Structure 1
Amino acid sequence: AAYTGRASAWDLEFLGDRGYEVLSTRSILSEAHRRASAGERVGDVAASVQHNLARGIAVMAIRAAEVRGIPRVALSGGVAYNRAIRETIIGEVRGAGLEIVMNREYPLGDGCISFGQVVWGGSVD
């Protein structure tokens, strides 16, 4: 349904959890329910859920990079297989003036995450 819909930007809610910023997916789903109940097209609601989830992920990554003085954000994981989500994140990150990094030699999903875990594990004493 999302493929045929037109996404719109919604207000995003972020929560603090033990010193970490967390996107409130509950608020996104509540807004989706409200809009669907009001008769908004299912495709538009579905596209907006994806779009706003991606925006929230991008906002958190951008903030984390800026706080740490890191000029780039890496995009990987299964969610990166979804073109709409991937392109939204890329656009938001680039729009913030940061570089987006995606590994073209490994799959976007669990294979790349596993590779990253091995690299990190090998670097820890």
Structure 2
Amino acid sequence: MCPKVDKKKIENPTKCQVAFSKRRGSLFRKAHEISVLCDVDLALIAFSPSGRLNKFCSQERIEDVMQRYIDLPPDKRFRRLLMCMQKTQQMLSQLGHLKDEESKMHFINNQYISLSLSVRLDSLWCVWMT
């Protein structure tokens, strides 16, 4: 497994350019991989820290892929985003319920442990008294 890289902005312009150059190849390889595996048209546009245009397109010309996106009606273009936002809200709600349930379970567990210790102490006390 690769060591974790601290995800913060690289302030040094030279180091930033070097990091972009190293990762650009990996990014384009992954874009090519997903386009082949899933048989999708994919366009990727990235501007380097120096402002140089870097682009990748799977099969068609990048202009054709971008035009297909622009030609989509806004409701279709943003439907996926809306679905993701709704799913996120639903998951956050479920997470809240799970946290409540977890708190209840911790409380019940603590009550059980307390009662169990109390019973043990009582039994030890009874044994000691006899």
TM-score (normalised: structure 1): 0.35
The structure number with the bigger radius of gyration is 2
Q: Indicate the structure with greater helix content.
A: 2
TM-score (normalised: structure 2): 0.34
The structure showing larger relative contact order (alpha-carbon pairs under 8 Å, at least 6 residues apart) is 1
